[in-house]
Structure 1
């Protein structure tokens, strides 16, 4: 039996010597509750993310992936259930959580460097944005994602992929313990998306934050993640938990392997026949 086939048999595997960092227990979300317009977006569902683990949320469009992510971010309150991060109940957004959205949401009048530093100006994090160490960290992050020489450029002077590189740096600049990403590369062309997957993989391996990544791309999920959580159609809930067996670091060439495509085929079949 291949290593991929063996991995597909492992449901909810434990990561050795790692504690649960994100704990979602029976969390559900219903909009307009108690009215005729009531919509159940997320059915009560539970999962955990280990410290230092990269987990992908994968499912059909409209299944509640982003809603679930925003509840973990503290930006949307669950209708039922509980969420804990780093051993503490989540009741509001955390300063220690970094978020990347589908749109890079950069301020058009600010330079790439100033956009990276924006979290320090938007909230009191105890470190002034003009602190030399903070400025150096932001500049180093931009260099690491291939934007050396573009620190002073405005968003309109950058390509879509370059703008998302700035967004990665902004999410990492204050060294968050949890990184949440909501389909950050979905609007990019295939070649640029592959490049951004490589950039994200490199940055994650270097900074190694606990990560939860929403995507509708099967190959992206398998390439990036340690585990893939498959969601049902709306109201979404976790219906499968797959451990990805490939060691790190990973190059894009892994996508040509039999094992990689075997796992992708399994997930594709699961999503095509995903129940309500």
Structure 2
């Protein structure tokens, strides 16, 4: 199992700073975010990563595919650009957060135009994958469908379980579409171990962080350092290993206190908790 720093865990760091931090702390992989890559510049980001000898464990994110009409076409175009960026970075996968109900904005109150057509939103995701998966295959990129905890179903992801994501992925070649196992999002699911086994080599990314209790007012920031919440990591890690996953393990944390802390201290704690809390020993 190979540890990777998802850039959002040390949100204050630019791509250059995060790459330098990975090297300084002996990490061999990094998960990047598109907006940070855009700020650094794609070509410069590619050079920084390659010169440092790092793997790009994922690029986040594509997705938000549940709209229709012109907005749907624009979303497809943006996702093709994301695929191109992932190809340039030689990312192991492009994480796909598929989007919530049409007209429901992340973190915003409902408006009169908000949709309640959950089944229709999921159909748009399937239609989008039919368009994007072959293009991803041509570019050598694997799309990684990430199911999100049901609290995010209205505004961020109409895929709420690993099983739902896997059912969509199975309609496409393994090298084109896989799934993300993120402990924050799947720990509660009574079927998660069966679906991890069913996913097998479709697992394109394994991401870890803890689920805090109680959640903060902004539930998006309810992720904690491993060991600070309610998740039992070792059985999940063992299941992912047993399914055949050999990729990097990303620590991805959205947490205001962690973002405000010294990033070097965060990475040091992350490494220690990975060894003590996440890894499953025989």
TM-score bracket for the superposition, by shorter chain length: 0.3 to 0.5
Higher strand share: 1
The higher relative CO (CA closer than 8 Å, separation ≥ 6) is in 1
Higher helix share: 2
TM-score by length of 2: 0.36
TM-score by length of 1: 0.37
> Higher Cα Rg: structure 1 or 2?
1
